[in-house]
Amino acid sequence: MTYDAGHYDVIVIGAGHAGVEAGLASARMGAKTLMLTLNLDMIAFMPCNPSIGGPAKGIVVREIDALGGAMAKVIDKTHIQMRMLNTGKGPAVQALRAQADKPLYIKEMKNIIENEENLTIRQGMVNELIVEDGVCKGVITESKAAYSAETVIITTGTFMRGKVLMGDLEYESGPNNQRVSVKLSEHLEDLGFELTRFKTGTPPRVNSHTIDYSKTEIQPGDEKPQSFSYETTEYITDQIPCWLTYTNEFTHEIINENLSLSAMYSGMKRGTGPRYCPSIEDKIVRFNDKPRHQIFLEPEGRDTEEVYVQGLSTSLPESIQHDMVRSVEGLENAEIMRAGYAIEYDAVVPTQLWPTLETKRIAGLYTAGQINGTSGYEEAAAQGIMAGINAAAKVLGKDPVILDRSQAYIGVLIDDLVTKGTNEPYRLLTSRAEYRLLLRHDNADLRLSETANELGLITDARYQTFVEKKRLVEEEKKRLNKLIIKPSEAINQVMEEAGATPLKEAVKAYDLLKRPELSYEILENMIEPNPDLSNEMKEQVGIQIKYEGYIKKAYEQVSRMLKMEDKKIPDDIDYDAIGGIATEAKEKLKKVRPLSVGQASRISGVNPADVSILLVYIEQGNIARVAN
């Protein structure tokens, strides 16, 4: 018998990276929210690399922050080093990455959760959902607590029927020997969800005292203080370096000789692993001409001696892992503290979701994070915040929030998942975004602050700061467009110092900034400075002017895309009633059930003619519906 454990607007199952953002967003929007998780000491635990951000992912963290999420602020407070990547490249691809202090990250995140109004967190294992007439009404835990709710979000990550693999060792487990979630997975299957089996892996951790750092190269953080959050004002100055070393022919020999002992190479049929996170076994097999591979040694925190051996992800037996690690320069005497392993788990086929992350099968039920077939903390957090927003919006009677592909990497991620599905753990890459020039690190606030403000996810003060920033940037652009710079000795000296050809004729400051050699900082030496502008604003002005042509071109594409997004398709349209659409396209459309003609056009197998026919069909207004 279950007992009545109370009623909530939104229940979030799981307190990983998806779960915490979901819970926080939902609570902040004013929904009474409960989070249930297996272990309160493992909130927002990082089972793999101690690092947040990087290309595409770092921009997602900025977006989460612009939407009022927690990830950016927590990593700003708990990192051991931070670096801006791709500084030599264009503004669209620059991204921050931080090395995290893992235990501190957990502590900090737990603190935020505990102190959030409207949010309750409790330890517990959810075994099943309460579903009535195709609507999710609550959850039941293994301790027989029955919670009722308006909406439920599942964010159970890699725990679903998780299986740890190391050589021939194999046991049911969540990541890092946490309890596995079996019943819930079976329950989802019983409810009719299509599940798939994915896998991922992690490298060994070694004791820092046993590493000979003198044989490795130091990898320090940037000196310049930086932050993920737009609101961070205090910066960590005492950074800790990472270290670089390499595998060698001996390492490869050890691996090759023992390949058949690797869990993933033993011939057993296994879940699909991500190509972008190959195990060291994969790398040796697939790229056997490479004489060496990079190994980054990354401290897992300030108050621990554990060091993450990035590059050696493996499911070889423990005994071989010792040899393998010790074959690497600098690690000759290294002591493994935790061995690497692979983990196999159930994921929900994400084409079963609406772009709000609500499941099509059961109303009021949402899934977010690695359970949807993604991989990565940032990808999980991004879905978490959107599921939290939408689950709360549904309860509060607000419109659903769907970010489009030109608005955010988050939009790209979710659209890809629900429209195309994925046949391997999905990771964000900058190349997945067709409008990446618009989706920059520097302008996440410009893209998302309005939405965040409307939803009540950010404070008024923060919103006002943003409005002011935007205004100042616009005014400065106008000013530069009116400002004429005439050639003079002083001006041309600045030009020459910058390596630019001297001015011959008067030119607008605006146009001068477009010269490849000139930046706003240099231009400032030729004009009356604007004391109101922060560095961040100057950067913004510079980017917007310099890349104006490309940005404009991208917006033209976007407006074409958005026109098709505006052509809505009723969610109960009966595709069988539409003549003319090719059979393959029809099957795909019936499966994905796109909400707009734009989304339909991105489904592989749906051709332009099918899209045209669909458009005509919708336009004529008399749309056949499937009976419920």
Which residues contact other proteins by CB under 8 A? Answer: 48-49, 55-56, 85-86, 88-90, 92-93, 203, 275-279, 282-283, 286-287, 290, 292-294, 296, 310-311, 313, 429-432, 436-437, 516-517, 547, 550, 554, 578-581, 604, 607-609, 612-613, 615-617, 619-622
The neighbouring-strand residues paired with 83 are 97
- Is 19 a residue that touches ligand FAD (CB under 6 A)? yes
Judged by beta carbon distances under 5 to 8 A according to partner kind, the member of other proteins, ligand FAD, none in contact with residue 103 is: none
Max Cα–Cα distance, the chain, nearest Å = 88
Q: Which is nearer to other proteins, 82 or 131 (CB)?
A: 82
- Residue from 11, 31, 47, 476 touching ligand FAD (CB under 6 A): that is 47
Q: Which is nearer to other proteins, 525 or 612 (CB)?
A: 612
Judged by beta carbon distances under 5 to 8 A according to partner kind, the member of ligand FAD, other proteins, none in contact with residue 370 is: ligand FAD
Q: Which is nearer to ligand FAD, 25 or 526 (CB)?
A: 25
Which positions from 185 to 224 touch ligand FAD by CB under 6 A, shown as an x/- string?
---------------xxx----------------------
Contacts 24+ apart (CB under 8 A), 355-358: 355/402, 355/414, 355/415, 355/418, 355/419, 355/595, 355/599, 356/386, 356/387, 356/390, 356/400, 356/401, 356/402, 357/153, 357/383, 357/386, 357/387, 357/390, 357/414, 357/418, 358/390, 358/391, 358/394
Q: Specify the pairing of strand 3-13 against strand 51-53.
A: unpaired
Return the exposure string of 511-545: e unless at least 16 CB atoms fall within 10 Å of the residue's CB, then b.
ebbebeebbbebbeebeeeeeebeeebbbbbbbbb
Residues 43, 44, 47: CA angle, nearest 5 degrees: 110
Judged by beta carbon distances under 5 to 8 A according to partner kind, the member of ligand FAD, other proteins, none in contact with residue 89 is: other proteins
Which positions from 501 to 540 touch ligand FAD by CB under 6 A, shown as an x/- string?
----------------------------------------
Residues 134, 371, 127: CA angle, nearest 5 degrees: 60
- Is 13 a residue that touches ligand FAD (CB under 6 A)? yes
Q: What minimum distance in Å lies between the beta carbon of 157 and ligand FAD?
A: 2
3-state secondary structure 545-594: HHCHHHHHHHHHHHHHHHHHHCCECCCCECHHHCCCCCHHHHHHHHHHCC
Q: What minimum distance in Å lies between the beta carbon of 523 and other proteins?
A: 16
DSSP H helical segments within 239-311, as ranges? 249-257, 280-286
Cα–Cα distance between 168 and 514 in angstroms, integer?
Answer: 61
- Is 126 a residue that touches ligand FAD (CB under 6 A)? yes
Report which residue type is found at 218: I
Q: What minimum distance in Å lies between the beta carbon of 386 and ligand FAD?
A: 13
User: What residues between 376 and 395 interact with ligand FAD by CB under 6 A?
Assistant: 376-377, 380
CB atoms within 10 A of CB 621: 6
Given a contact cutoff of 8 angstroms between Cβ atoms, the answer to whether 106 and 43 are in contact is yes
Radius of gyration of the chain (CA): 26
User: What residues between 275 and 314 interact with ligand FAD by CB under 6 A?
Assistant: 277
Given a contact cutoff of 8 angstroms between Cβ atoms, the answer to whether 74 and 95 are in contact is no
Tell me the number of residues near ligand FAD by CB under 6 A.
35
- Is 370 a residue that touches ligand FAD (CB under 6 A)? yes
Which positions from 328 to 347 touch ligand FAD by CB under 6 A, shown as an x/- string?
---------------x----
Cα–Cα distance between 561 and 422 in angstroms, integer?
Answer: 23
Judged by beta carbon distances under 5 to 8 A according to partner kind, the member of other proteins, ligand FAD, none in contact with residue 550 is: other proteins
- Residue from 11, 12, 36, 387 touching ligand FAD (CB under 6 A): that is 36
Q: Which is nearer to other proteins, 278 or 400 (CB)?
A: 278
Those residues whose C-beta lies under 8 Å from the C-beta of residue 175, and which sit 6 or more positions away, are: 45, 47, 157, 158, 159, 162, 202, 343
The neighbouring-strand residues paired with 34 are 11, 120
- Residue from 10, 12, 18, 96 touching ligand FAD (CB under 6 A): that is 18
Judged by beta carbon distances under 5 to 8 A according to partner kind, the member of ligand FAD, other proteins, none in contact with residue 267 is: none
- Is 49 a residue that touches ligand FAD (CB under 6 A)? yes
- Is 15 a residue that touches ligand FAD (CB under 6 A)? yes
Q: Which is nearer to other proteins, 182 or 500 (CB)?
A: 500
Residue 246 burial by Cβ neighbours in a 10 Å radius (0-12, 13-18, 19+): middle
> Which range touches ligand FAD (CB under 6 A), out of 62-70, 151-159, 223-231, 355-363?
151-159
Judged by beta carbon distances under 5 to 8 A according to partner kind, the member of other proteins, ligand FAD, none in contact with residue 15 is: ligand FAD
Q: What minimum distance in Å lies between the beta carbon of 159 and other proteins?
A: 21
Judged by beta carbon distances under 5 to 8 A according to partner kind, the member of other proteins, ligand FAD, none in contact with residue 439 is: none
- Is 369 a residue that touches ligand FAD (CB under 6 A)? yes
Given a contact cutoff of 8 angstroms between Cβ atoms, the answer to whether 210 and 307 are in contact is no
The neighbouring-strand residues paired with 37 are 123
Judged by beta carbon distances under 5 to 8 A according to partner kind, the member of ligand FAD, other proteins, none in contact with residue 36 is: ligand FAD
Q: What minimum distance in Å lies between the beta carbon of 544 and other proteins?
A: 14
Cα–Cα distance between 556 and 562 in angstroms, integer?
Answer: 10
Report which residue type is found at 215: K
Judged by beta carbon distances under 5 to 8 A according to partner kind, the member of ligand FAD, other proteins, none in contact with residue 617 is: other proteins
Cα–Cα distance between 208 and 32 in angstroms, integer?
Answer: 44
Q: What minimum distance in Å lies between the beta carbon of 93 and other proteins?
A: 5
Q: Which is nearer to ligand FAD, 228 or 510 (CB)?
A: 228
Given a contact cutoff of 8 angstroms between Cβ atoms, the answer to whether 357 and 392 are in contact is no
Q: Among all chains, which residue has been given the structure tokens 């349209």?
A: 573
- Is 375 a residue that touches ligand FAD (CB under 6 A)? yes
Given a contact cutoff of 8 angstroms between Cβ atoms, the answer to whether 307 and 207 are in contact is yes
The neighbouring-strand residues paired with 343 are 164, 200
Residues that bind ligand FAD (CB under 6 A): 13-19, 36-39, 47-49, 125-126, 155-159, 175, 181, 184, 200-202, 277, 343, 369-370, 375-377, 380
